[in-house]
Structure 1
């Protein structure tokens, strides 16, 4: 996927800066969807990618050179986003197409996923579309092969209009609750198991915003006080990412 317009600096464009911030504020919805996508047997997403502000300091220039480019194969641990660059830099020399990168959440400028041809997120893309005429927007969307919808009403989650409750809880978190119960009964050690970064299932479900999964783990006496190697509990991540519907569960 190649976006034709690459912004080198949006410092003088307040609306684009707002788009960057909105993408960062809502990234949790992207990750929640992708965390379930990685568990699906049959893929539900057409694409899932994150736009990153890549920077390079150039001699005799006060400000670094910046290009906003997309990564896919995205992973997220609550603090750091990682993925593979899928664009060719226009001028930067410190990254190239195919590089694996790790960046903080504050360095992303957009996120986008699509399902059944409908786009979710894409804040910078929608900012560009807002400046287009109807014909240009139609051609733009045809080039992407996606329905971006109304640039004034950006969707965050699947079937948001029909099921606004999906903003609070992902339907798979509810539908897979019985399966999680059976899994934990069969594999009780998974409740306390920590990966190499110190993350437990409770950490990962809290980061993904899955209330039903968090409730189930707590019913199986998952330890809320376990910390990752970064010194963070599941509650820390729920607060950090703004999952307000999960914070009370972990704060009790």
Structure 2
């Protein structure tokens, strides 16, 4: 399971048995650049999804959802392309957003995509917002983050 994100606050929300939610101020320049890079490269994700490359697996998209206060960015996994729409299953238990829940199958709103990722031979491709969060951690915290999330970065 991957961590989700919430805008408009700067504390981390730890959850027992669930991935942490990393809260990010909505004016965080690095995070906003990462989300823009992800949006601008969705075609790369789609091409990989459709490639049938056996080295590519665990396709996921992070989508922005309206929440009580601000927005929450939640990972959607088991991505499929149906006609021109991405479909998938909500992979995180929302903390703030109330219109979706863990396990819901949804159609992804392309205008609300904030990140995407997949594994290439077990290594993360994409994951723009994850990299921003990870880069701000100490080396020890990065190792713990990687271990908790099962991630290997190129």
What SS does the aligned partner of 1:47 have? strand
Task: Indicate whether 1:84 and 2:89 are aligned.
Answer: yes
- Matches of 1:107 and 1:79, distance apart in 2: 15
- Structure 2, unmatched stretches of 5+, are 9-24
Which one scores higher on RCO, CA 8 angstroms, separation ≥ 6?
A: 2
- Matches of 2:106 and 2:58, distance apart in 1: 19
- Report the CA distance between 1:12 and its aligned residue: 1.6
1:13 counterpart residue number:
28
Matches within 5 A, 1:111-122: 111-122=116-127
- Matches of 2:134 and 2:2, distance apart in 1: 16
1:52 counterpart residue number:
63
Matches within 5 A, 1:165-204: none
What SS does the aligned partner of 2:142 have? helix
- Structure 1, unmatched stretches of 5+, are 59-63, 150-252
- Matches of 2:133 and 2:83, distance apart in 1: 29
- Matches of 2:56 and 2:84, distance apart in 1: 24
- Report the CA distance between 1:78 and its aligned residue: 7.8
Structure holding more strand per residue:
2
Residue of 121, 126, 130 corresponding to 2:131: 126
2:47 counterpart residue number:
32
Runs of 4+ that moved beyond 4 A: none
The CA RMSD over aligned residues, in Å, is 2.2
2:151 counterpart residue number:
146
Structure holding more helix per residue:
1
Taking structure 1 as the reference length, the TM-score comes to 0.50
- Matches of 1:78 and 1:36, distance apart in 2: 16
What SS does the aligned partner of 1:6 have? strand
- Matches of 2:101 and 2:77, distance apart in 1: 14
Structure 1 pair 48/103, CA: closer, same or farther in 2 (3 Å)?
Answer: closer
Rg bigger for which structure?
A: 1
Structure 1 pair 119/2, CA: closer, same or farther in 2 (3 Å)?
Answer: closer
What SS does the aligned partner of 1:89 have? coil
- Report the CA distance between 1:101 and its aligned residue: 1.7
1:59-88 superposed Cα distances (whole Å, 9 cap, x missing partner): xxxxx6311111122234685432211111
- Matches of 1:140 and 1:82, distance apart in 2: 27
- Matches of 2:29 and 2:85, distance apart in 1: 26
1:32-81 superposed Cα distances (whole Å, 9 cap, x missing partner): 111123xx6xx43341100000114x5xxxxx631111112223468543
